[in-house]
Amino acid sequence: MHCKNFSVMGEYCPSGTGVTGSHDGGIMARKDNILMRELATRYLFPAIGMSSCHRGLTADLLASCRLVRVRRYELLQRPGHWRDGYLHWFEWATAHVYYEEGFGHKRPVELLLPDRLFLEAESVLYREERYAYLQALEDGLALRIAYPSLRALMRKHAAFRGVIEGLADAEDAIQREAEAFGSLPQAVRIDRFLARYGAVAHRLTMDVQLLHMRVDTDSFRAYMRRNNRAYTSLRLHKIAMNAPAGAYDDT
């Protein structure tokens, strides 16, 4: 799916002449709304646990959605006030979530593959500060909903609070999984990462892969040689063959 009509800030804008009320602009706006409706009803709603919605809630969710373009390496969210947060659902692009723990050290939380969403649900539920960074790893499209809009939906539709609470539980499970993963032996972490993400490794920079495996370049290279592993991507192959660290991050 390819769409190319966006404002400078990345918000999806209707095509056409740019003149409000123009015939072409009206046609394209309707097409854009259809696209957003299709993405939301087919993918976003099931992703948040709403495969079948009350008609009024569905309409209100659609009214709250915005279609945006994300750019490779764009930092989509950083820690801050809850009001400045957004739920993001990625139609194609990969992304990742991490925390910073002083001196620029990143603690990985999750790699988001396409059709996954990002939400700091407890910030929505309890109006708490946000602490995570969200970065796009590829160009693509995303749907997003502002946290104040999610709270407004919770007030208007009682059942929607249960949806957000369910997402908070899922978020807690992801956090526990990330902590448990970090405590595993290095070889087990590499094995599990390659088993889970090997199919998309060619779409990720080596730095991102090493971050989420929680190993350095030398350790990874030694592991691959010691175990005579097949290389899962061109980047992994080049690193294992003594390429300088970071030399292939943008290929």
Span 204-239, pLDDT tens digits: 999 999 999 999 999 998 998 888 765 544 455 444
Say what the pLDDT of residue 14 is. 33
108-117, 123-132, 224-233: range with lowest mean pLDDT: 224-233
Q: For residues 120 and 117, what is the distance between their CA atoms, to the nearest angstrom?
A: 10
DSSP category for residue 6: B
- Please state the pTM of the whole predicted model: 0.78
Instruction: Work out the average pLDDT over 8-28.
Output: 38
**Amino acid residing at 246:** G
Residue 9 — very low, low, confident or very high, per pLDDT cuts 50/70/90?
very low
What are the C-alpha distances in Å from 136 to residues 30, 103, 141, 173, 231? 28, 22, 10, 22, 25
Say what the pLDDT of residue 198 is. 87
Give 226: exposed, middle or buried? Use CB within 10 Å, 0-12, 13-18, 19+: exposed
